């Protein structure tokens, strides 16, 4: 692992000084962890998150809001205007969908434009306010722009807890897991049947969050001590793999087998997303999958009739954004999908969901397999939800939606994208039928 770190640090920034800095940074990071006497009840002081009375559970995914980015302008009035547009967008998605839960999938802010910690805390407050005011439970993982001059993933979580209070289910990975305060968002949230489900009992669904880190150190934590920030690796830290297996043992002990089905959220897409975009048998003509708009009509990506926007082409994903991909993201993925992970005894992994590539909003089958190779794993981009960050006007803004149906929770999940314009598009059910249909086409 030391060798790998050295060579990666060399590739990322052409220097080896980051190695020691990254290692010491990781081991000395302060951590606060919620704990409980019931190992399977990680939120002893908060209400259970649960399905709604119609036996459904709807999540909307907001991502890449990039507050503090003034669309190319550093004038305070431009920044304030673009920030306000993103906040209104979040309010609109909530109004149009009425979700049971909101996930912010990262890049709350463009940390490189912050002038102070106060800039970041105000921006995080602004973007989460519509969710908190609506009283909707939420949680997040952070992106590569959240680790920057005046912020880390940990500090953004602290601002999140301040604005959302007990509505926030974001918690920090235990000490030694995730890579320190730049990689804290590794945790799971149980979704129960109803408000009176017994605490610590087997839930219906588990939301897993993994922190793909990335970005830059704060100025204060610069490894150089000369104001130049250090680079942070852009993949889920290898300590997360053994942690997933330990959690699986703990939860299996508490609930028996199989564990409930799950869905995974990570800001930077795994490399499997890049493969889904380029490699046979899927490839560029197949991304987007089969939607109600184009079922049986699945041909080529077309800006007019596209079954999912596919404008960010040739990205590398975790470990491949700035370096040659060397399977860095397979430690946690192999743990999750392997014989000691949560899907091994036949539990469904509904999808892996990522943001980061603002020009993509498709779902596709991937080369990843769950349930001992039995299940093809769908990979889904969310959709660029805010007005900060790189963009083309025709890409539009939106939020990906997942609707779980308790009666069919082991079969699949419904998903669509709600555009800011109000349009609902790409509605489909991610089931085995869907993955097989798309893989063949």
Ligand X SMILES: *[C@@H]1O[C@H](CO)[C@@H](O)[C@H](O)[C@H]1NC(C)=O
> How many beta carbons lie within 10 A of that of residue 58, not counting itself?
18
Q: Kindly determine how many residues on this chain lie close enough to bind ligand X according to the rule CB under 6 A.
A: 30
Question: Does residue 324 bind ligand X (CB under 6 A)?
Answer: no
| Closer residue to ligand X (CB): 310 or 318 | 310
Distance separating alpha carbons of residues 283 and 261, to the nearest angstrom: 28
Question: Does residue 116 bind ligand X (CB under 6 A)?
Answer: yes
Asked if residue 344 lies in contact with residue 372, where contact means CB atoms within 8 angstroms, the answer is: yes
| Closer residue to ligand X (CB): 111 or 214 | 111
Place of tokens 């508490």: 254
Question: Does residue 85 bind ligand X (CB under 6 A)?
Answer: yes
Binding track, positions 4-43, relative to ligand X; x by CB under 6 A: ----------------------------------------
Q: Is the dihedral of CA 76, 78, 79, 80 positive or negative?
A: positive
Burial 124-135 (b: 16+ CB within 10 A, else e): bbbbbebbbebe
Question: Does residue 209 bind ligand X (CB under 6 A)?
Answer: no
Q: C-beta of 330: minimal distance to ligand X in Å?
A: 31
Q: C-beta of 361: minimal distance to ligand X in Å?
A: 17
Distance separating alpha carbons of residues 190 and 188, to the nearest angstrom: 7
Q: C-beta of 219: minimal distance to ligand X in Å?
A: 11
Candidate segments 103-111, 182-190, 191-199, 339-347, binder of ligand X by CB under 6 A: 191-199
Binding track, positions 284-323, relative to ligand X; x by CB under 6 A: ----------xxxx----x-xx------------------
Binding track, positions 374-403, relative to ligand X; x by CB under 6 A: -------------x-----x----------
- Choosing from 226, 314, 324, 440, the residue that interacts with ligand X (CB under 6 A) is 226
- Choosing from 65, 87, 92, 119, the residue that interacts with ligand X (CB under 6 A) is 119
| Closer residue to ligand X (CB): 1 or 304 | 304
Question: Does residue 76 bind ligand X (CB under 6 A)?
Answer: yes
Candidate segments 194-202, 233-241, 365-373, 396-404, binder of ligand X by CB under 6 A: 194-202
Alpha carbon distances (Å) from 129 to 66, 81, 132, 168: 15, 16, 5, 12
Distance separating alpha carbons of residues 89 and 242, to the nearest angstrom: 38
Residues 6+ apart with CB under 8 A from 276: 282, 287, 364, 365, 366, 367, 379
Name the residue whose CB lies closest to ligand X: 197
Of 44, 29, 122, nearest to 80 (Cα)?
Answer: 122
Candidate segments 102-110, 111-119, 179-187, 331-339, binder of ligand X by CB under 6 A: 111-119
| Closer residue to ligand X (CB): 214 or 223 | 223
* Angle, vertex CA 163, rays to CA 157 and CA 169, nearest 5: 50
What is the phi/psi pair of residue 32, to 5°?
-125, 130
Q: C-beta of 67: minimal distance to ligand X in Å?
A: 8
Residues 6+ apart with CB under 8 A from 416: 400, 401, 424, 425, 426, 427, 428
- Choosing from 30, 227, 314, 373, the residue that interacts with ligand X (CB under 6 A) is 227
List the 262-266 sheet strands across, edge first: 49-50, 187-192, 205-210, 262-266, 349-354, 375-381, 363-370
Q: C-beta of 75: minimal distance to ligand X in Å?
A: 10
* Angle, vertex CA 183, rays to CA 177 and CA 189, nearest 5: 75
Distance separating alpha carbons of residues 66 and 330, to the nearest angstrom: 28
Give the bridge partners for 151, in sequence order.
148
Candidate segments 182-190, 223-231, 242-250, 276-284, binder of ligand X by CB under 6 A: 223-231
User: Binding residues for ligand X, per CB under 6 A?
Assistant: 68, 71, 76, 79, 82, 85, 115-116, 118-119, 122, 192-194, 196-197, 201, 224, 226-228, 294-297, 302, 304-305, 387, 393
């Amino acid at each position: 692992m030391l060798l790998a770190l050295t060579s990666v640090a060399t590739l990322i920034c052409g220097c080896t000084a980051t190695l020691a800095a990254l290692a010491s940074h990781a081991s000395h990071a302060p951590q606060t962890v919620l704990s409980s006497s019931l190992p399977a009840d990680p939120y002893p002081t908060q209400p259970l998150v649960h399905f709604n009375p119609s036996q459904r559970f709807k999540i909307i995914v907001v991502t890449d809001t990039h507050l503090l980015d003034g669309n190319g302008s550093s004038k305070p009035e431009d920044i304030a205007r673009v920030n306000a547009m993103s906040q209104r967008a979040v309010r609109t998605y909530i109004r149009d969908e009425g979700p049971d839960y909101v996930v912010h999938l990262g890049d709350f802010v463009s940390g490189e434009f912050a002038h102070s910690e106060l800039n970041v805390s105000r921006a995080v407050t602004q973007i989460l306010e519509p969710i908190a005011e609506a009283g909707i439970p939420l949680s997040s993982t952070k992106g590569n722009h959240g680790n920057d001059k005046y912020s880390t993933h940990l500090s953004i979580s602290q601002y999140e807890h301040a604005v959302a209070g007990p509505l926030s289910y974001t918690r920090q990975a235990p000490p030694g897991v995730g890579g320190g305060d730049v990689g804290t968002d590794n945790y799971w949230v149980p979704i129960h049947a109803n408000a009176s489900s017994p605490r610590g009992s087997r839930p219906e669904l588990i939301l897993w969050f993994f922190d793909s880190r990335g970005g830059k150190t704060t100025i204060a934590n610069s490894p150089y001590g000369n104001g130049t920030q250090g680079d942070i690796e852009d993949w889920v830290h290898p300590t997360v793999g053994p942690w997933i297996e330990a959690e699986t043992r703990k939860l299996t002990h508490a609930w028996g087998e199989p564990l409930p089905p799950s869905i995974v959220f990570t800001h930077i897409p795994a490399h499997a997303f890049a493969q889904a975009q380029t490699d046979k048998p899927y490839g560029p003509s197949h991304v987007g999958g089969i939607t109600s708009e184009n079922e049986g009509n699945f041909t080529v990506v077309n800006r007019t009739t596209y079954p999912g926007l596919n404008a960010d082409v040739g990205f590398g994903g975790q470990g491949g954004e700035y370096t040659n991909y060397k399977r860095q993201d397979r430690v946690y993925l192999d743990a999750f999908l392997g014989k000691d992970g949560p899907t091994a005894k036949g539990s469904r992994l509904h999808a892996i969901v990522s943001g980061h590539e603002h020009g993509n909003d498709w779902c596709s089958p991937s080369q990843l397999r769950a349930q001992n190779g039995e299940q093809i794993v769908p990979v889904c981009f969310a959709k660029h939800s805010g007005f900060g960050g790189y963009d083309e006007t025709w890409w539009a803004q939106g939020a990906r939606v997942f609707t779980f149906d308790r009666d069919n929770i082991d079969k699949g999940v419904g998903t669509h994208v709600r555009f800011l314009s109000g349009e609902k598009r790409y509605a489909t059910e991610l089931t085995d039928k869907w993955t097989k249909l798309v893989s063949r086409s």
